[in-house]
């Protein structure tokens, strides 16, 4: 619900004529409610800008002022979904005022809608990624894809370092990706994990030869795991499940 203070501050800034205040308030809120019902939600800053625009629209309708043509370049950058929502919402005002709004009015409202939808998508993606461990995989032979598949299968995010001797870059990439776990593979048992500890202070355990050892290491809050060559999907899957159990 938009506060009375917000409405009054917009009216003051725009110097809305007393004769149209009641109408502008009523139908601006109806337009906002329509968009909310159609999953367009503005945060506090966005709603201020949106209502400011709608109040100004009522003011332009009273004075006969028209917005300049925005051109095809601007329209081409607007999502058709946002344009449709803008047209449908603004029909409330068109019906009340008995007019057809210029395309520029619709496009500018669509821009507000598109920004709100993009913000909502961003927040949804961030929410979805929360709780997913980021796992960096470095294999001396440039492998690790099977482990990565297991990481993803268990609900983690995997990054496999490309190229030969990738294991020795484990700490660097863990730092770059702000990773929760790093897995190193080489014949000696994961020298890259030891290197990650020496260079960045990541708590490591190396020389492991079984999945069970890896699970125990995760339970012990080890973040840089060193194994012999074990590019197995089951390893990635069980390591992530162990991390989720520890951090869930």
Q: What CATH number does residue 207 fall under?
A: 3.40.1400.10
pLDDT at 205: 95
Whether residue 142 is found in the same domain as residue 37 = no
Whether residue 98 is found in the same domain as residue 139 = no
pLDDT at 118: 87
Q: Are 172 and 166 within 8 A, CB to CB?
A: no
Q: How far is residue 191 from each of residues 120, 221, 238, measured CA to CA in Å?
A: 43, 19, 21
Q: Say how far apart CA 3 and CA 95 lie, in whole Å.
A: 26
Task: Name the domain count of the chain.
Answer: 2
Q: What's the mean pLDDT when you consider all of the chain?
A: 90
pLDDT digits (tens, 9 = 90+) for 190-200: 899 999 999 99
Domain boundary among 127, 150, 182: 127
Task: Provide the strand spans (E) within the chain.
Answer: 134-139, 157-160, 181-185, 204-208, 224-227
Whether residue 43 is found in the same domain as residue 28 = yes
134-139: strand order across its sheet: 157-160, 134-139, 181-185, 224-227, 204-208
Coarse DSSP helix, strand, coil percentages of the chain, rounded to the nearest 5 percent: 65, 10, 25
Domain boundary among 109, 127, 145: 127
- Termini Cα distance of the chain: 35
Whether residue 151 is found in the same domain as residue 88 = no
Whether residue 120 is found in the same domain as residue 151 = no
- Domain ranges, residue 42: 4-127
Whether residue 14 is found in the same domain as residue 120 = yes
pLDDT at 128: 46
Domain of 56, CATH number, reads 1.10.1790.10
Supply angle C-alpha 13, 55, 10, rounded to 5.
30
pLDDT digits (tens, 9 = 90+) for 14-42: 899 899 999 999 999 999 999 999 989 88
Whether residue 116 is found in the same domain as residue 166 = no
- Per-residue pLDDT at 55 exceeds 50: yes
Whether residue 27 is found in the same domain as residue 85 = yes
């Amino acid at each position: 619900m938009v506060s009375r203070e917000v409405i009054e501050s917009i009216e003051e800034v725009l110097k809305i004529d007393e004769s149209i205040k009641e109408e502008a308030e009523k139908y601006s809120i109806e337009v906002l409610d329509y968009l909310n019902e159609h999953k367009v939600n503005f945060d506090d800053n966005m709603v201020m800008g949106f209502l400011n625009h709608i109040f100004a629209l009522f003011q332009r309708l009273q004075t006969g002022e028209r917005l300049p043509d925005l051109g095809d370049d601007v329209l081409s950058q607007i999502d058709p979904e946002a344009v449709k929502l803008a047209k449908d919402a603004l029909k409330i005002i068109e019906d009340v005022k008995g007019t057809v709004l210029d395309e520029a009015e619709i496009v500018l409202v669509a821009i507000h809608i598109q920004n709100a939808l993009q913000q909502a998508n961003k927040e949804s993606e961030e929410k979805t990624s929360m709780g997913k461990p980021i796992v960096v995989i470095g294999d001396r032979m440039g492998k690790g894809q099977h482990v990565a598949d297991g990481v993803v299968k268990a609900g983690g995010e995997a990054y496999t370092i490309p190229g030969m001797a990738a294991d020795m870059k484990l700490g660097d990439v863990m730092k770059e990706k702000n990773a929760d776990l790093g897995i190193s593979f080489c014949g000696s048992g994961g020298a890259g994990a030891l290197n990650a500890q020496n260079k960045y202070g990541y708590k490591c355990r190396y020389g492991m030869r079984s999945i069970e050892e890896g699970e125990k290491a995760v339970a012990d809050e080890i973040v840089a795991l060193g194994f012999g060559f074990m590019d197995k999907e089951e390893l990635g899957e069980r390591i992530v499940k162990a991390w989720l159990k520890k951090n869930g």
